[in-house]
Amino acid sequence: MRPPPAKLALLGQPVAHSLSPRLMTELGCLARRKAAYRPCTVAPERLAFAVGLLRTAGFVGANVTAPHKISVIAHLDRLTPEARRIGAVNAVKMSRGKLVGHNTDAAGFADALGEAGFSAKGCEALIFGAGGAARAVAFALGRLKAREVSICARRPQRARALARDMAALFPRTAFRSARPAAAELAVNATPLGRFPHDRSPAPASWPGCQLAFDLVYGRRTAFLRQAQGLGAQTIDGTSMLVFQALRSWEFWFGPLGAERRGLWKKRLMRKWTRP
C-alpha cells in the first residue's frame, strides 16, 4: 500500500490569497512525495485549538503566517535556536510527539537579497513594521552585518520592543520615531499593499535608497512604485516566499543536499518570480 499524503497546513488570517498551497504542491512533485497542504483561516482566539489539531490529527507540520508568528510560540513545546533568537516562528513540525517551532523567514530574506545581487554588509537599513516578519528581517540584516538597522512602525511600543530584542544581538539596531534622512535599503514588513490592505497608503521612500524590498508578493505595491520612481532597485516578496518554502520543506523532511536544492531553487524561481 502507498503511504498516505503527508499532512501539512498553513495557519493565518487571511490565507485565501496565499500562493503557499500551490508552491508546496510543486515542491511535492519535485520531491516525488505526496503532501496535502491545507490553508486554514485561524482567528487569534482559535489559535490554541488549531495548534491542538496539529498535535492530534496526524500533521507532519505547518507554516504559520500573520498574525500568529509571535503568538504561536506560547503553544509550542520548544523552539530551534534560530526561532528563539528571532522571537518569531513561521514553520512548525511534529518531532517525537513534540511541536517544534522554527523560523525560515530570516534565511529566506537573506537568500532573496543575495538573488537580487544586493550586499547588506555595511549598509544602512530601515524596516517598516514590528511584527514577526520584521523580526526575521532585522535578525537577517544583523547577521549580514548591516551597519545600522532602524525600526519604524505605527505601534511605537512594539517597535521599541523589537529594537531592544535585536540590539541585544546586534547593537546597531534602533527604534526610530521618525524616518531617518537616508537609508540604502528599505524593507516594507507591514501588511500595507497585501490583501485586504491593497488600497492602503504605502510608507514613503526617498532619494538615496538603492533597494526597496516589499515582503508583499505578487503585486507592484505603492511602496515599490514610489521607490522605483526615485530610481531605486525594487523586488517584491515572491523570491523570499520561494526560498523560505524550500527551507520549510527541509525542516519537515530533511536536507535536500546542495545540488538538489540548487536545481529546485532555479526551477521554482523561474516559475514563481516575475521579471
Catalytically active residues, by annotation: 69
Collapse the DSSP code of 75 into the 3-class scheme (helix H, G, I; strand E, B; otherwise coil) and give the result: helix
Single out the residue of 139, 186, 134, 144 nearest to residue 167, CA to CA. 139
Among positive and negative, which fits the CA dihedral 74, 237, 104, 32?
Answer: positive
H-helix or E-strand containing 97?
none
- For the chain, strand residue ranges (E) read 6-12, 35-41, 59-64, 78-79, 91-95, 98-102, 124-128, 148-152, 173-175, 185-188, 211-214, 233-235
In angstroms, the CA 136 to CA 169 distance is 13
DSSP 71: G
- Residue 38, classed as helix, strand or coil, is strand
